[in-house]
């Protein structure tokens, strides 16, 4: 375990890289369908809400230092119930991995490779994911830190939109009504998922608890700001009537830019975006493999890794039609909302009520 | 014949240290001086050898003079001393001539070469300057005679690592000389040499070098352990050793820096790394190294730092160009035509229109041709080599386009790629880059940009998870260490290079580069 630890600074990059994923492209559209032009406000509210989940996750892991969620669950719920919940969480993380694969596949199939069979696109990602998760968290995180500067490229591309924006599109602010805005923030929470990997990775993190909560919270804050910026930009770039017909506003926006050396900016953007998707996928695949390790009592997670990768790829191939993808998206989003954002709070309450706590942990 | 007989006597003397008491008894008149000095010859020798820590090339010969039975001791660093010279200048005069000779008369005989010293402090310096030191029972002073080793072949600049400015010396096929070349640059007693022998039959000698008070002892232990574990009848080349002790034998990347430049080895030793120098081979290995070690050239440090930084950056760019350019070209022309700006489309289209086969095949054809030309020109003498260059480069390049087999653009891409691959200062890394572009080309031809992205993902992660002798290969960017970036992508000025790289876990991190103190006032 010692050689597998990560520092709290690395945890920051881990959370950032996991949070930025498939959501970034379609988020403006999905928010618009619910909250109209006030989607960006929903996003900010969602950003605030997830801070509570983060706090709960941190508090929970703080009670059981150096324990992953899979070790915590049996401790607070008893052996049998713990096993059941371990299974549920493993499946939950597996299905987030699958959702990432599905969404990645649908975007790549739509924008980059139209003719390539879907299973090829999915399997290449799964294979890469497998290669990554055979190593330790430390090396994975080192890689995440390394690719983080690429986010700047995404940022700069989007910044270019400000050559042609109309702030008037935003007004009147709050036209959707406060209730709708708050309701639609649940959609935004799904896009901001990624902080939940802390449930496993906090166990590997060194540093004081105060530092840990700061970095996770700050990472989520940064991503909320970045997403809000992206959503905001697309809303002032496109006419409200246009957004309804562009499911990936960011890409449509970039497609319109052309520089003297690159004609289709969106293809470059997508190439960089794939790396962000891969990092999210790797994080989730890793914690899935950790879950499998606990369930089957394997010596290390590498043993289960190939099966996890193949399982995710196989399931991800199933949805074929666009409508099916939407349905899968809807249901997995719902479960992730429950298990990643809400359930940690419940778990923390149970742990507090039953006064379950590891001996080493500082009493709260 | 006497020349051969006498050394036997020397051995006899060495083998029988028990007889040492008798000369001490004999020298009753010297007893007073011993009490004054409070140091016997043996104690003196131990004291003198102390600063050299454990280096094994520091040798001592104790001799009993036949005339007055007094003991003298010769002390020298084997690697930088010509033993024949020691024999002919010191031992032969002492033994060969008539039995009456004692040290006093020898001193008179050899007075030009023999210098008397009294300061013990000078011992280190004299030894490191290839002197043979003579200690007598009178420990108040000692004598030094310069006995430098003669070169075997001319020390020339290695052809595969030429530089513009800086020392033009390279290792040769003689271990002692190679050690001398390093020692010449690091005149510190802490430079430690450890001889290792591998190969049951060949007994190939390897010298393990490290700077005692800088290098992490763990690295030394690890290298030592790995080399000692080699069991083979014959170990012929440094390549054999390299393959036996590297961490990941299936990686394309070289995990030890091979160099023929003593200045490169010396600089790396002072950074806290370990070096292996081989007998009968001009190649030295440095470990643990990181990816960027292969992109550092001695030239960078002799240029102005802006220029050095610029060329360092160009080299790192060269890594990506050499690996990715053909792949990107293939991906663009076969998948993503839309990326090309409007003005270029007609140009590219007209160039590609008449080519009968896919871009991948076109690229493979040209890349392989370049590798053929390269391989042929290595095997041939320089004069015929230039013929190959003309035939290969000009004739084939021109004819292949005119014949309509390969497009003009592909020739340009392949040429840039070839040049980019050769700007790496390390031959091994250059070879790794050249090999790796083939999988990238295949990936680009099958999946376009997606293939390239995944190719790079896996490549970069491979570098991230690669360790050499316990230190991360892709340091200082994974794990990120901002301070160490000063010698990775750029070459910061000398007065900024005041810490050793963190990934080598040197004992002393601060290297005391405060060279512009005069500027502060």
Q: Considering the domain boundaries, does residue A364 fall inside one?
A: no
In whole numbers, what is the pLDDT of chain B averaged over residues?
A: 82
User: Is 70 exceeded by the pLDDT of residue B405?
Assistant: yes
pLDDT value of residue B30: 43
Q: What would the 3-class secondary structure string for A94-111 be?
A: HHHHHHHHHHHHHHHHHH
Total domains in chain B come to 3
Cα A68 to its chain centre, rounded Å, is: 18
Task: Report the gap between the CA of B138 and the closest CA in chain A (Å).
Answer: 58
What pLDDT sits at residue B35? 40
Highest mean pLDDT (candidates A167-176, A280-289, B421-430) = A280-289
- Same structural domain for residues B340 and B393? yes
The shortest CB-CB distance from B340 to any of A143, A263, A271 is to: A263
How much of chain B is in helix, strand and coil states, percent to nearest 5?
55, 15, 35
Of the residues B146, B168, B184, the one at which a domain ends: B146
Whole-Å CA distances, A220 to A52, A227, A347, B285, B471: 11, 10, 21, 46, 32
B contact test, residue of A16, A101, A112, A150 with most B CBs within 10 A: A112
Q: Does A143 touch chain B (CB under 8 A)?
A: yes
Q: Which of B341, B458, B478 sits opposite A146 (nearest CB)?
A: B478
Residue B331 counted as domain residue: yes
Task: Assess whether pLDDT exceeds 90 at residue B511.
Answer: no
- pTM metric for this prediction: 0.83
Tell whether A218 lies on the interface with B, counting CB pairs under 8 A.
no
Domain membership of residue B380 (yes or no) is yes
| Torsion angle in degrees (nearest 10) through CA of B307, B309, B311, B315 | 180
Domain termination residue (choose one: B454, B472, B490): B472
Domain-located, residue A308 = yes
CA-CA distance, B65 to B27, in Å (whole number)?
12
A362 belongs to a structural domain = no
How many folded domains does chain A comprise? Answer: 1
CB atoms within 10 A of CB A4: 13
Residue B347 covered by a domain: yes
pLDDT at position A113, please? 86
CA distance B79 to B148: 9
Structure confidence at residue B10 as a pLDDT band (50, 70, 90): very low
User: Does position B297 have pLDDT exceeding 80, yes or no?
Assistant: yes
The H or E element spanning position B146 is: strand B142-146
Residues B237 and B305 in one domain: no
- Domain coverage including residue A79: 2-353
Q: What is the pLDDT of residue A277?
A: 93
Distance between CA atoms of residues B277 and A110, nearest Å: 57
**Which pLDDT band, with edges at 50, 70 and 90, does B85 fall under?**
confident
The answer to whether the CB atoms of A142 and B460 lie below 8 A apart is: no
Within a domain: A358:
no
Q: Do B74 and B186 lie in a common domain?
A: no
Let me know if residue A361 belongs to a domain: no
Q: Say if residue B14's pLDDT is above 60.
A: no
Lowest mean pLDDT among A286-290, A345-349, B378-382, B410-414: B378-382
The better pLDDT of the pair A186, B215 is held by B215
- How many Å apart are CA B344 and CA B352, to the nearest integer? 12
Contact residues for B14 (Cβ-Cβ < 8 A; gap 6+): B61, B62
Distance CA B378, CA A37 (A): 67
Contact A271 B453 (CB under 8 A): yes
Same domain for B20 and B141: yes
Contact B336/A267, CB-based, under 8 Å? Answer: yes
pLDDT at B51 over 80: no
pLDDT value for B97: 58
CA A16 vs. chain centroid, Å, equals 9
- Residue B237's pLDDT band, with cuts at 50, 70 and 90, is confident
Residues B282 and B134 in one domain: no
Looking at the fold, whether B23 and B108 belong to one and the same domain comes out as yes
Q: Do A113 and B480 touch (CB under 8 A)?
A: no
Q: Tell me which residue range forms the domain holding B325.
A: 301-472
pLDDT above 80 (res B358):
yes
**Each residue's pLDDT tens digit, A297-332:** 888 888 889 999 999 999 999 887 888 888 888 888
CATH (domain of A326)? 1.20.1740.10
pLDDT in the model for residue B96: 64
pLDDT of the residue at A178: 82
Q: Is A363 contained in some domain? A: no
Chain A residue numbers with beta carbons less than 8 Å from the beta carbon of B453 are: 271, 274-275
Between B214 and A264, whose confidence is greater? B214
Same-domain status, B6 and B61: yes
The CA distance from A357 to the nearest CA of chain B, in Å, is 34
With CA atoms as reference, report the closest residue to B503 among B459, B458, B468, B453.
B468
Q: Give A264 to chain B, closest Cα distance, Å.
A: 5
Q: Return the percentage of chain A with pLDDT > 70, whole number.
A: 98
Q: Given a cut of 80, is residue A102 above it in pLDDT?
A: yes
Q: Is B424 helix (H, G, I), strand (E, B) or coil?
A: coil
Is B422 in contact with B408 (CB distance < 8 Å)? no
Q: What is the pLDDT of residue B109?
A: 66
In a domain, residue B517? The reply is no
C-alpha–C-alpha distance, residues A48 and B164, integer Å: 60
Cα(A348)–Cα(A341) distance, integer angstroms: 12
Q: Is residue B519 part of a domain?
A: no
Q: Assess if residue A295 is contained within a domain.
A: yes
pLDDT at B16: 38
Mean pLDDT over residues A238-248, rounded?
Answer: 84
- Is A359 among the domain residues? no
Which of B472, B489, B504 is a domain's end point? Answer: B472
pLDDT, tens digit (0-9, with 9 covering 90-100), for B476-509: 888 888 888 888 888 888 888 888 888 888 888 8
For the segment A69-89, the average pLDDT, to the nearest whole number, is: 89
pLDDT at B8 over 70: no
- B325 and B439 assigned to the same domain: yes
Query: B274 falls in which pLDDT band (50, 70, 90)?
Result: very high
Of A143, A262, A268, the CB nearest to B464: A143
B412 and B357, same structural domain?
yes
pLDDT digit string, tens, across residues A190-204: 888 888 888 899 888
* pLDDT at residue A359 is higher than 70: no
Q: What is the pLDDT confidence band of residue B3, given thresholds at 50, 70 and 90?
A: very low
């Amino acid at each position: 375990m010692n050689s597998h630890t990560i520092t709290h600074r690395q945890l920051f990059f881990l959370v950032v890289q996991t949070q930025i994923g498939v959501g970034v492209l379609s988020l403006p559209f999905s928010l618009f369908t619910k909250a109209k032009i006030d989607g960006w406000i929903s996003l900010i509210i969602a950003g605030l809400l997830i801070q509570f989940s983060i706090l709960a996750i941190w508090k929970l892991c703080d009670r059981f230092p150096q324990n992953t969620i899979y070790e915590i669950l049996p401790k607070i719920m008893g052996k049998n119930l713990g096993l059941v919940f371990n299974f549920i969480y493993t499946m939950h993380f597996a299905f987030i991995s699958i959702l990432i694969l599905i969404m990645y596949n649908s975007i790549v199939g739509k924008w980059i490779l139209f003719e390539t069979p879907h299973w090829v696109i999915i399997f290449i990602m799964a294979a890469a994911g497998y290669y990554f998760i055979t190593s330790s968290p430390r090396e994975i995180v080192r890689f995440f830190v390394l690719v983080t500067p690429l986010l700047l490229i995404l940022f700069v591309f989007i910044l270019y939109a400000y050559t042609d924006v109309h702030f008037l599109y935003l007004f009147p602010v709050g036209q959707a009504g406060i209730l709708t805005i708050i309701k639609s923030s649940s959609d935004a929470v799904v896009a901001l998922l990624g902080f939940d990997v802390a449930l496993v990775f906090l166990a590997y993190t060194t540093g004081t608890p105060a530092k840990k909560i700061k970095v996770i919270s700050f990472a989520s804050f940064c991503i909320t700001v970045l997403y809000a910026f992206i959503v905001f930009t697309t809303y002032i770039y496109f006419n409200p009537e246009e957004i309804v017909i562009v499911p990936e506003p960011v890409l449509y926006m970039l497609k319109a830019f052309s520089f003297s050396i690159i004609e289709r900016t969106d293809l470059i953007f997508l190439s960089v975006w794939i790396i962000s998707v891969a990092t999210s996928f790797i994080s989730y695949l890793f914690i899935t493999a950790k879950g499998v390790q606990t369930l089957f009592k394997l010596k290390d997670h590498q043993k289960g890794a190939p099966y996890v990768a193949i399982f995710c790829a196989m399931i991800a191939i199933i949805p074929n039609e666009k409508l099916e993808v939407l349905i899968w998206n809807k249901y997995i989003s719902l479960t992730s909302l429950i298990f990643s954002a809400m359930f940690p709070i419940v778990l923390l309450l149970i742990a507090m009520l039953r006064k379950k706590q590891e001996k080493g942990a500082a009493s709260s | 014949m006497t020349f051969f007989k006498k050394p036997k006597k020397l051995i006899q003397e060495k083998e029988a240290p028990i007889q040492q008491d008798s000369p001490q008894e004999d020298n009753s008149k010297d007893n007073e001086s011993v009490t004054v000095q409070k140091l016997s010859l043996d104690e003196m020798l131990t004291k003198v050898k102390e600063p050299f820590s454990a280096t094994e090339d520091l040798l001592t010969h104790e001799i009993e003079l036949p005339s007055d039975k007094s003991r003298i001791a010769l002390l020298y660093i084997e690697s930088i001393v010509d033993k024949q010279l020691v024999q002919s200048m010191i031992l032969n005069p002492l033994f060969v001539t008539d039995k009456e000779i004692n040290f006093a008369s020898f001193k008179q005989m050899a007075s030009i070469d023999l210098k008397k010293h009294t300061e013990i402090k000078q011992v280190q310096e004299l030894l490191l300057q290839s002197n043979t030191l003579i200690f007598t029972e009178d420990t108040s002073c000692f004598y030094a005679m310069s006995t430098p080793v003669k070169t075997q072949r001319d020390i020339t600049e290695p052809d595969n690592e030429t530089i513009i400015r800086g020392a033009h010396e390279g290792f040769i096929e003689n271990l002692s000389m190679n050690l001398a070349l390093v020692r010449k640059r690091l005149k510190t007693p802490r430079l430690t040499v450890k001889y290792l022998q591998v190969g049951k039959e060949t007994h190939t000698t390897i010298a393990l070098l490290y700077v005692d008070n800088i290098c992490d002892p763990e690295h030394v232990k690890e290298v030592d352990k790995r080399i000692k574990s080699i069991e083979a009848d014959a170990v012929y080349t440094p390549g054999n050793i390299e393959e036996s002790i590297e961490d990941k034998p299936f990686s394309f990347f070289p995990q030890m820096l091979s160099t023929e430049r003593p200045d490169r080895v010396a600089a790396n030793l002072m950074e806290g790394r370990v070096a292996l120098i081989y007998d009968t081979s001009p190649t030295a290995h440095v470990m643990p190294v990181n990816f960027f070690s292969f992109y550092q050239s001695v030239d960078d440090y002799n240029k102005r730092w802006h220029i050095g930084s610029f060329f360092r950056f160009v080299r790192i760019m060269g890594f990506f160009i050499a690996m990715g350019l053909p792949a990107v070209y293939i991906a663009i022309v076969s998948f993503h035509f839309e990326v090309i700006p409007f003005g270029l489309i007609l140009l590219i289209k007209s160039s590609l229109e008449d080519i009968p086969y896919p871009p991948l095949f076109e690229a493979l054809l040209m890349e392989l041709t370049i590798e053929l030309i390269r391989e042929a020109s290595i095997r041939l003498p320089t004069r015929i080599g230039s013929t190959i260059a003309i035939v290969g480069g000009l004739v084939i390049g021109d004819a292949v386009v005119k014949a309509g087999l390969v497009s003009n653009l592909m020739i340009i891409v392949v040429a840039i790629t070839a040049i980019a691959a050769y700007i790496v200062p390390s031959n091994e890394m250059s070879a790794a880059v050249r090999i790796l572009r083939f999988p990238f080309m295949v990936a680009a031809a099958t999946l376009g940009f997606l293939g390239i992205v995944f190719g790079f993902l896996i490549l970069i992660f491979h570098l991230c998870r690669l360790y050499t002798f316990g230190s991360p290969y892709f340091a200082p960017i994974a794990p990120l260490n901002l301070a160490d970036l000063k010698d990775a992508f750029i070459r910061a000025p000398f007065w900024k290079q005041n810490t050793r790289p963190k990934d080598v876990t040197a004992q002393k991190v601060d290297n005391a580069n405060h060279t512009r103190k005069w500027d502060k006032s």
